[in-house]
Amino acid sequence: MPDLLIELFSEEIPARMQARAAEDLKRLMTDSLVEAGLTYAGAAAFSTPRRLALTVQGLLAASPTTREERKGPKLGAPEGAIEGFLRGAGVTRDALELRDEKKGQVYFATITRPGRPATEIVAVELEKLIRSFPWPKSMRWGAGSLRWVRPLHSILCILTDDAGTVQVVDLDVDGIRADNMTEGHRFMGAGRFAVSSFDDYRAKLRRDHVMLDAAERAEQIWQEAGNLAFASGYEMVEDSGLLAEVAGLVEWPVVLMGRIDEAFLDLPTEVLQTSMRTHQKFFSVKNPKTGRIERFVTVANVETPDHGGTILAGNQKVLTARLSDAKFFWENDLQAVRGRGLEGMAEGLTSVTFHNRLGSQAERVARIAALAREIAPLVGADADLAAEAARVCKADLQSEMVGEFPELQGLMGRYYAAAAGLPAEVAAACEEHYKPLGPGDAVPSAPVSVAVALADKIDTLTGFWAIDEKPTGSKDPYALRRAALGVIRLVLGNGLRVSLADLLVSADSQLCEAIKTGELVPEDASPEYNSLLAFLHDRLKVHLRDEGIRHDVIDACLAMPGNDDLTLLVHRARALSDFLKTDDGENLLQGFKRANNILTQAEAKDGVEYSYGADVKFAETDAERALFAALDAAEPAIAAALKSEDFAAAMTAMAGLRAPIDAFFQAVQVNAESAVIRRNRLNLLSSIRHICLHAADLTRIEG
């Protein structure tokens, strides 16, 4: 059982594509081998800036011979049908066999597929993979038709058996012929060399200054960086995303630490980090006593005689130029804010288009401010502060710093608001109104921030709904799903009791007023409140799925009044979900469904609604009388619990109905011979249905 080694050697692969490419190489190649009949014991894929590698251990030396029996047309079938069957099966008429079946004699063909050696299968499947590899972006070079992420230089493809015998796979892709050769580091390597196995390949690469495993490179970078920082009394600022990227930029990491010039240490920490991270791929190093970023770590891809001194000097020179620009932007922005105020800076938003059918950013800010004023009392915020925060929340979009570093929007708004002497709540809202940006992002809790964040997201949703720019399939160019999830997390994270329907109407009224006054002219404006609310409910289902709450449980709660109050809705759904996980809940659900099915069928048959007149005096059995008593006791208890929104108590009261309902169905035949008794029992079932539907629409629960 030989081992397979593949290496696809090219010019530098973008760091962001390497991990996915290694996964795709492993998945696609192993899947195709298995489909061709070659099973294997294990596989692993690796990536460096210049190579993708795959090792497959314990591969079958050849695919097994297979036999397949294929049923054909009946005896006497048209000649064309028989000829078509022969072509499809790849056999001659002499190879057909007639067999007796119930409906007469039928032709059968036995198709034998001889096994193929692994080298032949690997050659075919690897060429197909290379020619159709799913790179996000690819290129052609020279006169060939082959596309790869960067020019592909060589293909290493060998099979090594247990005795150590190496067989090169016979493969040629656009003039690139597979062999057993590779090369090491671009600058520190010793040229091309032959390999005989994966272990030999890995060891020789390390000898030639290539660390094959990206995880190992990342671990070494972080460990050496931490050691350098600790030795100087500093701490590394964690940045897993940058670490993964840098590990994809080097084949032989050499970690160096440098100083940041004193002239730049007064820049906001985030500006220093962003400038170094974005432009230079530098890690930030902070002083644990002051919290300031004072040093940086860079990772070179080559060892030098002066131990990186020249590299570090060049990096510091470039960094100084970058930070000089940042300092210039920062000081210019501060001067503008102190001279005109933050609202003065925001005046430039009149010339910034938000969307050609939804007006400028300034018009949008005016809508957000009006909506934030309405939301403020609902979230415990001061209305004037919320409106003020909304008016300046987008001002930093006009700053030079955000023009250079768009990822700092919001954050720079907080700094500029503080510099302008605005209240702390306003400054915080400038930063936090964009949040939450993703599932792992924190949810704002300060009332003013919550008001502005909700207003911002609701205006976005109603605006794009009004111009019928809704998400379709996987396409969501305006991030409306993220905005909807942001609304949900803001409401639930802060336990807000707000009517989303009212907020959507308020937000749309701002749009309608703008349309009326001629500020906006959306074509065919069509705000569909129910459609947008349904969209929010769908996003809520996705959000609650992680809690283990089933979609049918949420549907059962959505059918109840007040479903635009998400906090109320989720409390109800959680209580119902917990209840249905208990034996009482599951059995009561079955009892309810049985009662509802019998009642529904009887109502359809009789053409009447059985909803009134159940009377205990017509009860013939103790089980009936016990059920009457249980329903009489449960109804006020459930109603009181629902009124106080104690859904757990309501479910507990419903649980008390399980035993009497079970006993009723065991002891009583609903469709009695007496019409009076039958009608009374059907009305009793109606009472069960009526009371159980108080808490949630149990008809929507599956199972």
d(CA 560, CA 317): 66
Percent of all residues in the chain with a pLDDT value above 70, rounded to a whole number: 97
pLDDT tens across 676-698, in order? 888 888 888 888 888 888 889 99
Q: Quick one: pLDDT band at residue 513, thresholds 50, 70, 90?
A: low
Helix (H, G, I), strand (E, B) or coil at 48: strand
Whether residue 529 is predicted with pLDDT greater than 80 in this model: the reply is no
pLDDT tens across 256-278, in order? 999 999 999 999 999 999 999 98
575-700: CATH class? mainly alpha
Q: Where in the chain is the domain with CATH 3.30.70?
A: 3-62+117-207
> Stretch 552-561: mean pLDDT, rounded?
91
Q: Where in the chain is the domain with CATH 1.10.730?
A: 575-700
d(CA 647, CA 571): 7
> Stretch 348-376: mean pLDDT, rounded?
92
Model pLDDT, residue 517? 57
- pTM for the whole structure: 0.80
pLDDT tens across 128-180, in order? 999 999 999 999 988 888 999 999 999 999 999 888 889 999 999 999 999 99
pLDDT tens across 189-238, in order? 889 999 999 999 999 999 999 999 999 999 999 999 999 999 999 999 99
CATH ID of 3-62+117-207, from 3.30.70, 2.60.40, 3.10.620, 1.20.120 = 3.30.70
Q: Cβ of 317: how many Cβ atoms within 10 Å? A: 9
Mention every residue, 6+ apart, whose C-beta is less than 8 A from residue 702: 550, 552
d(CA 1, CA 118): 10
> Stretch 389-414: mean pLDDT, rounded?
94
d(CA 699, CA 552): 10
d(CA 385, CA 454): 15
Whether residue 68 is predicted with pLDDT greater than 80 in this model: the reply is no
> Stretch 484-510: mean pLDDT, rounded?
89
Model pLDDT, residue 1? 80
Model pLDDT, residue 694? 87
C-alpha distances (whole Å) from 571 to each of 560, 568, 587, 616, 700 are 13, 5, 22, 35, 18
Whether residue 6 is predicted with pLDDT greater than 90 in this model: the reply is yes
> Stretch 652-665: mean pLDDT, rounded?
89
Q: For the chain, what is the mean pLDDT?
A: 90
Q: Cβ of 272: how many Cβ atoms within 10 Å? A: 25
Q: Which residues pair with 55 in a beta bridge?
A: 5, 44
Among the listed ranges 336-340, 391-395, 492-496, 614-618, which one has the minimum average pLDDT value? 614-618
Model pLDDT, residue 359? 87
Cα angle 30-216-3, degrees, rounded to a multiple of 5:
30
pLDDT tens across 286-320, in order? 999 999 999 999 999 999 999 899 999 999 999 99
Q: For residue 109, how far is the Cα from the chain centroid?
A: 49
Model pLDDT, residue 433? 96
pLDDT tens across 215-229, in order? 999 999 999 999 999
> Residue 515 corresponds to which tokens in the numbers above?
């349309």
Model pLDDT, residue 665? 87
d(CA 343, CA 110): 83
pLDDT tens across 591-612, in order? 888 888 998 998 888 888 887 7
Q: Which residues pair with 69 in a beta bridge?
A: 110
DSSP state at residue 697: -
- CB half-sphere exposure, 594, CA atoms < 13 A: 14
> Residue 202 corresponds to which tokens in the numbers above?
């890995």
